[in-house]
Amino acid sequence: MKVEQLEDITIDQQQAVFGAYDTLIAIVERALMVTIGLHNSVVEIKGESDKNVEMAADVLRSMLRLYETGDTVDEEVVHRLIDEASEGGLEEIFKAMGDVITLTHRSIPIKCKTLGQKNYIKSLRDNAVTICIGPAGTGKTYLAVAQAAQELKQGVVERIIMSRPAIEAGEERLGFLPGDLAQKVDPYLRPLYDALFEIFGAEKAEKMRERGEIEIAPLAYMRGRTLSRARIIIDESQNASLATLKMALTRLGEGSKMVLTGDVTQIDLPKVTESGLEKCASILSSIEGIGIMRLNNRDVVRNKLVKDIVKAFEKAEADKGPAPGKQQRPRKK
């Protein structure tokens, strides 16, 4: 039986680590098969596995460390700490969360939560163009909007332009939706509004739209324009052809930066082969000033269940292997 102790834990620290009705500590106990008790100001961890007890102690220390730096410690954070502890990446979380990207309209700091996200933000800051490919829940769009908001606040850019292809992911079609064209495309742009409203607040975001500081439009509306001193975000880029992405990229004007985000496992085009995002990343990968970022399931921060879903689909795809009659291309080293 392995035993570890964390001593001199204050009452506030105890509440942060154990959570309401011990919900947080119960997650650690179930995941790592340990028993955690509190005796006065000492937290005691017991278990049959030395490795699991040590991991549990590391997770608890990390929870305390986050609490001391003012970060939220909730169930999703605890699950992420356990996952990172099992993969030896706990220290990466603290490296990632060192900088504040911007503040929401409620003055809540927006920080990266994984090393992959931190590298993504660095690419957004350092490169004129960033192409970010990754699964759902990795913060591709939200972090791009957060970085754009900070650049607008600092006067680095004069406006934020957000766009995405108006491609359906279900049964609804543009022609059968009620209203004029603006009302028809609005549902497809709603995720962009959601990110803006969280960062700026709904009322301020609407006023910024009226003043032209924020523009949200379908990708097709970009043709023929030159976009200067703007941060341009092209969301759901996996649903655009290579020709359309070329059109978007060549809109870049003086003082502008652009990011293309997308999940190549969720292509809604009639033919998967019509998607241009991977082709675009391959063509532009060697150009200076263009960053290619690839996030994975370790960067999923939306919900633990989302992370598990992404892992399950990745495993299913890996088990399936290449399609019959086709040979898998060797990866470039």
3-state secondary structure of 290: strand
- Residue 331 belongs to some domain of the structure: no
Q: Domain end: 52, 78, 96, which one?
A: 96
The CA distance from 163 to 261, in Å, is 11
- Residue 319 belongs to some domain of the structure: no
Residues 155 and 284 in one domain: yes
Residues 211 and 76 in one domain: no
How many independent structural domains does the chain possess?
Answer: 2
Residue 142: is its pLDDT beyond 50?
yes
- What confidence score (pLDDT) does residue 322 get? 57
Residue 331: is its pLDDT beyond 60?
no
- Residue 201 belongs to some domain of the structure: yes
- HSE-up of 215 (CA within 13 Å, CB side)? 14
The CA distance from 235 to 277, in Å, is 11
Residue 158: is its pLDDT beyond 80?
yes
CATH of the domain at 132: 3.40.50.300
Domain hosting 78: range is 2-96
Residue 11: is its pLDDT beyond 80?
yes
Residue corresponding to tokens 């960053």:
291
What's the chain's average pLDDT? 87
Residues 91 and 141 in one domain: no
Higher pLDDT, 276 or 195: 276
- What confidence score (pLDDT) does residue 321 get? 66
Residue 328 burial (CB count, 10 A): 8
CATH of the domain at 38: 3.30.1370.10
Residues 82 and 179 in one domain: no
Residue corresponding to tokens 């998607």:
275
Kindly state the average pLDDT of the residues 52-66. 94
Residue 286: is its pLDDT beyond 60?
yes
CA 224 to chain centre: 31
- What confidence score (pLDDT) does residue 329 get? 46
- Residue 326 belongs to some domain of the structure: no
Of 290, 163, 166, the C-alpha closest to 214 is 163
Residues 12 and 141 in one domain: no
Q: Which helix (H) or strand (E) holds 316?
A: helix 304-320
Residues 136 and 83 in one domain: no
Distances from the Cα of 257 to the Cα of 24, 158, 212, 264, 277, angstroms: 41, 12, 17, 22, 18
Of 53, 96, 61, 97, the C-alpha closest to 78 is 61
CA angle at 282 for the pair 169 and 299, rounded to the nearest 5°: 60
Of 137, 145, 138, the C-alpha closest to 163 is 145
Question: Which amino acid is residue 60, in one-letter code?
Answer: L
Residues 12 and 109 in one domain: no
Of 198, 232, 240, the C-alpha closest to 127 is 232
Residues 165 and 234 in one domain: yes
Query: What pTM was estimated for this model as a whole?
Result: 0.83
Parallel/antiparallel/unpaired status of strands 214-218 and 159-164 = parallel
Residue 80: is its pLDDT beyond 70?
yes
Residues 176 and 214 in one domain: yes
- Residue 316 belongs to some domain of the structure: no
pLDDT band at 328 (very low <50, low <70, confident <90, very high): very low
- Residue 240 belongs to some domain of the structure: yes
Residues 170 and 78 in one domain: no
Residues 91 and 220 in one domain: no
pLDDT band at 314 (very low <50, low <70, confident <90, very high): confident
Kindly state the average pLDDT of the residues 157-172. 76
Residue 269: is its pLDDT beyond 60?
yes
pLDDT band at 326 (very low <50, low <70, confident <90, very high): very low
Question: Which amino acid is residue 161, in one-letter code?
Answer: I
170 Cβ contact list (under 8 Å, min separation 6)? none
- Of 59-63, 158-162, 186-190, 214-218, the range with the lowest mean pLDDT is 186-190
Residues 113 and 243 in one domain: yes
- Residue 288 belongs to some domain of the structure: yes
Distances from the Cα of 78 to the Cα of 26, 227, 301, angstroms: 10, 43, 11
Kindly state the average pLDDT of the residues 197-224. 91
